[in-house]
Structures are given as structure tokens and as C-alpha cells.
Structure 1
Amino acid sequence: MRRDRVSGVILAGGESKRLNGLYKPLLEVGGRPMILYPLEALRPASDEVLIVVRGREKADSLAGVVGSAARIVVEPDSAPRAPLIGLIEGARSAEGHTVLVAPADTPFVTPRVYEILDAELAGGDADAAVPTWPNGYIEPLVAAYRRREFLRAAEEVVSRGELRISSVLSLLRVKLVPVGALSERPEVTFLNVNTLKDLLLARRMMKDLGGAREVPG
């Protein structure tokens, strides 16, 4: 039975340019701040959860919402703005051998997703377990990574002046996990809220689910 320590990392530092600068993690879906949904999805499979933010003001706002359920990590103001940088900061601060990652704007992601990804990583010799769609598109920000191997590859990529997570994956042994193995309705589970249209859609979907985030699968 595995007992490597596992850390969950939520990326909550992105700019919301398509939402007029509103801070997405605190926008409400189903009457609750959106940050609470990925937090609840990660907690069953994680020994700790970290939330990576940019700026002390946002950190304080999130701390008031999540309380002791997560540890807040603040990105340096001088760091480039990119999801990869947030993931590096989270992995550096994490205590786990494995890092499970979630964006802050995924209100329908479920614990089952991370339990399966964690098991896929623990049961083989891959460095990363990443969901993949039938068309070949991948979900590297809803994934599981071996922390040490990820950091080694990520720091090499950044040292070359690159910020693409795909460049990091090219240096890792990656297990691709079909989204259909993670959810019966992956188009719901993996929904990202990037625009006002997405936000309104997420609110309608949550209402249709009766306020419950969990969807089949």
C-alpha cells in the first residue's frame, strides 16, 4: 500500500483579462467561492493543499476563505507570469513526493480525478500522469507529477527562457490517462471558467446539479 506523501497545489495567480480583471478564485459558483471546489477535490488524495497566488492582497483574501484547509504560497512579484511558474513555486514549497495540480477555475473537478491520477503515478514508473482527450489535447494543469523529477525538468526549461509546460513534459516520462477513465462527463468535469460566458454556464450547470459539484465519474 502506497504511503508516499502527496501535496495538492492549486494555481490561483492568473490574471482574469477576459473577466475584466475580476479575481476568478473568489467569484461565486453555486453560491460559494470557486476556489473551494478544487480544494475539496484535492483534499481526499492529499496530505496537504497549497494555493499559489501572486500578491499579498490576493493571498489575504484567499486565506480568509480557506482558513486552515490550505497553505498560501505567494509568487515573487519579479517572477514571469505563467502557470508553469506558479506550479514551480508550489512544488518547491510542497512536502510531498507527489504533486497533484488543479487550476482555481475548475468548479466541477472531482476527488475521483485525483485519486485515479495519483494511483496511475504510484503504480508505475512514469514521472507524470496527465489526462488526454480523444483529439490528443492534454490537461497538464489537472495532473499528477513526481515532485523532484518535475522540478528538475521545469527548472531546466525555465533556464532556457521557456515557460511552456509542454516543454517540461517532453523531458518527463508521461502516462497519458484518457479523460473517459476519469469522468463519465469530462466536458463538465474539466470545464475552465475563463470568460463571462463560461461563468454563467458554470452557474447554470451547478444549479442544474442542485448545488452539488459532484457529477457522475
Structure 2
Amino acid sequence: MSKQTKTPNYIKIAIDIAHRIINNEFLEGSKITGRTTLVSIYNVSPETIRRSLALLKDMNVVTINEKSGIIINDKQSAKDFLNKFKTKSDFTHLNSETFDLIKQRKEIDNKLEKNINSIIEFATQLRNVGSIIPFESIVEKDSIAVDKSIGELNFWHNTKATIIAVKREGDLFLSPGPYFKINAQDVIVYVGEDSVLETVKNYISLPSNIHTK
């Protein structure tokens, strides 16, 4: 969610006065007798009203006469004032939205970098085992491997294969350690001699009630 910029009170009051002029609450050519009247209307400090009026004076919406008070000039000047601040508000929104998009792009870039690093690490694993092509085997729900760690399975001892990764519901776990537990429907990625493909399949197809060493 984007962080909204808080509009200062003196700008809000200046905008409200301009709206009142357009809506004939403050009539063209009429006078507001001093800042104290506006202070009581808006319940703010005299300094806030002074800044609001200075803003309106700069856009020729009002004329300030220290003796006779504040004179309302014309509706068109009030409209021009509001259009100016609408443009400024639109710019602020666009600016905020742009920074949000930049933040989102950085998050996507970080995720892409993480995925690329995982791919590179996986490729390195494959290079480390030479030209051996990795095998894959799925773990069925009644397999001896379900809910057991790689260490508990004595996987290499029983199959002469080395697990280099485990695929699980779209995620890839590289170099799982001896405490990594296998779930049903996991895909084990492993390397070894050609004979290990059959050995691993036979091993993980053993029922879960079989005890191994």
C-alpha cells in the first residue's frame, strides 16, 4: 500500500475558502472582516490562517487590506487556484505510484536473482559429479522413505546413490542434509552409476513397515 502525503492544514483551508467562493458562500467583492473571523470558522491558529491567505493572495483569489480586511476578488481566480492544486495532487499521486512500481520491480529483481542463484548452484552440483546425468524417482505414500530423514534411511549405504536435490510441490531443495525428511510425493533427484536407478526404485518401493539398516 502506498504512503499518502499529508496535506498541511493551511493548504486545506485555502482550498476550502476557494470552494466557498465558487459556491457563493463568500461572494465576489465582499469582505471578511479580519483574520480572526477565519480563525473562529476553522478553529486554527492565526499563523495558519495567515499562511492560507498568503497562498490565496499569491493566486489573486483575495486581496488583503490590513485596515478593511480580506476582500474576495472573483470566482475565476478561485477556480484557477483549485486547478493548480488539483494538478499538484495528481503529480503527487503519480510520483508516489512510480516509486511503488520501482519498489515492486526491485522485489521482482531480487526474486529473479535468487532463482538464478539457485539454478547456478544446481548446475554446479551437476558439474561436480562430472558427466553423470541425475536420476529422479517419486516417493509414493506407502514408501519406506516417507517421514524419514535421509540419515535415517542410510540412503547412500542402501542404494550407493547420492541425493543432490528434492523436488516438493514446485519447490527445489538443493543439497538436502542428513536431517532432511522425505514426504510422500517428493521427487528425489540423485546421481550414481547407471545401476542405482533400479536400486533406488526398488528401495523406496519397500513398504513403510520394513526396517532397514
TM-score higher than 0.5 here?
A: no
- Compare relative contact order (CA 8 Å, sep 6+) and give the higher one, 1 or 2: 1
More helix by share: 2
TM-score (norm 1): 0.21
TM-score (norm 2): 0.21
